[in-house]
Structure 1
Amino acid sequence: MRINHAAQICALSASDLEEFIADWLAQRCKDYYAHELWRGTGDMGRDATGYVTDRRMEGPWDNFQCKQLSSKLSELAAFVELGKIFKHSADGAFSLPRSYTYVAPFGVVRRVQHFVAHPEQFRQAFLDRWDNDIAERLVGNQIVKLTPGIEAMIQAFDFKNVDWLDAVRLVNDPACKPGLVAWFGADPGPGPRGVVPNEIQASESAYIGQLLNVYDEKKPGTCPDVAAALACPEFGPHLRLQRTRFFDSVAFDRFYRDSTPDEYLRNFKDEIYHGVVDVHAGTHAGRFTRLGQVMQQAAVLQPSGVLGKHAGPQVKQGTCHQFANEGLLPWDR
């Protein structure tokens, strides 16, 4: 049975929606220098902000206005919320945002949808309706007339960068996946298999160099380099298998780094490490034997959580090669 995550987002409280959006922005951090939540009264029309540079709000920034309502965002509310940005920008509180997004789980009324689709009509409507519809609703017990400063901000803002997100649009955004996993226990699904390049990559040179030393201990002089190891009837198939495991683990990491909260992958790797470290540290007949016993142990581990559910033996074994790369569990010690 498919879970309706959009309905779950609609059921969040107003404060939880802001937290959820913060988690969503955290996943989009590659688009931002940093992000921030503004809580309670005095937020000046900001709920969640994403900063493009280290100048933060004095440089380019994006605003996400979260409105957890029991119905669609109304036309008047849309004007008032964005109007707060123009008012406080004119007052010098912050620069105009680069973009403005209404986050309303139930969506927006048709008229708001129309204005977002017609940027210049939206701009003109602000100028035409400010004094009658917006002025008395921006600040408590105060009427904020359309001053030259506010008008300048309305004229300067790029209305093409106004958008809206409802719960369905949020759920369909790939950056929302970690939030769905963390908040609602969503299953991100199985990750892809790795692709093994023909040429040895810099990212695998450390553990492969260690494997050459392992092979040399077992049969000295047989594998002076990778080409010789791959051509060796005994060690060639073994080396190819280790590379498959390594790149399967790399693909696994990449997929779940983008689709689950950061701590999920950290916890998965921590469980793998503690599951094999004692075997690695034990007494063995030789390095090749140690390697084989660590691989056997890794294959049968059953890590907890959703990542453990989707990690096949080769992913767990390849993770051990990542530990070897990092010097945590070197194969040739």
Structure 2
Amino acid sequence: MNEIVLEAASLEKSFGGRGLLPWGKGKRSLQAVRGVDLQVRKGETLGIVGESGCGKSTLARMLVGLSEPTGGRVALSGRDVAEMRRNARSELRRKVQFVFQDPLSSLNPRKTVRQILEAPLDNLLRMPRDRRRERVAELMQLVNLRPEFVDRHPHEFSGGQSQRIGIARALAAEPKVMVLDEPVSALDVSVQAQILNLLGDLKQRLGLTYVFISHDLAVVEHLCDTVAVMYLGNVVEHAPAEEIFRSPRHPYTHALLQSVPTLGRRSDPDALSEGELPNPAAPPPGCAFAPRCPRARDDCRQARPPLERMADGHLAACYYPLAREAGKDASQA
């Protein structure tokens, strides 16, 4: 079994909770991530999916040390990320890198591509100048960009080319893990396919491990080995990708799949319209999905269901999960 390279344990993140003035009335905090447990194994691509506002991007930023958890911990190859963030920041950045959703806004408009790619080579790897020039050429080749592009600025590129530069910048640090936050959502469909194929090729060639944040289930199904489904800051289902898409056990996962159009079946736009999204600053007691769930009963509204084993490698947080056969039939209906 492959080693665990990235792990989150009881991870939490809250925002707010205090008034603007010391004597002012305190504000209610917003808990964006609520006790998440995840393990990512070497060479794996973990997809994290859910509706907008479920905490995906907040979780991603904590995984790479860009945001400090309110509670719990993140470990990278057994080492605490918060400690590395304080004492070994350069080592942390060498081991895990982040690819942003908007490629243009993540690149410094005043720098050329050469300067953008040389920065991690110089600051993190302490690479000599002659070797840096060679390595920049190698990185451009890795992401299928023409070598003469190195002296251009980001605004001279298309969205897809800009994202290739962002990927090359992440690769420059020679990381073991890459966290990608909606890396293709801002791109045209044809360009999305090119970037996804590039990511798949780089993973195989360089032995990378990915955490892939997305709301696009078709993309996740194409790229990911395992999938974690988030709802209002919680992981409500976690399983191999094939199992998630073939036989979802949590009603929320089933509703997500029903809302996506597939060949031979119309999407159901009302699959998630039952009730309103709970206020994340005041989540309902018990299961957060209960107000929208057709299977909810009284005990669902009293205590939050734990993430429990439903089958081999398949976890779901539901007191009344879909039966395996029923889930399979429903997802294909």
Q: Normalization by structure 2: what TM-score? A: 0.26
Question: Based on CA coordinates, which of the two structures has the bigger radius of gyration?
Answer: 1
Question: Greater strand percent: which structure?
Answer: 2
- Structure with higher helix content: 1
Q: Which has the higher contact order (CA 8 A, sep 6+)?
A: 2
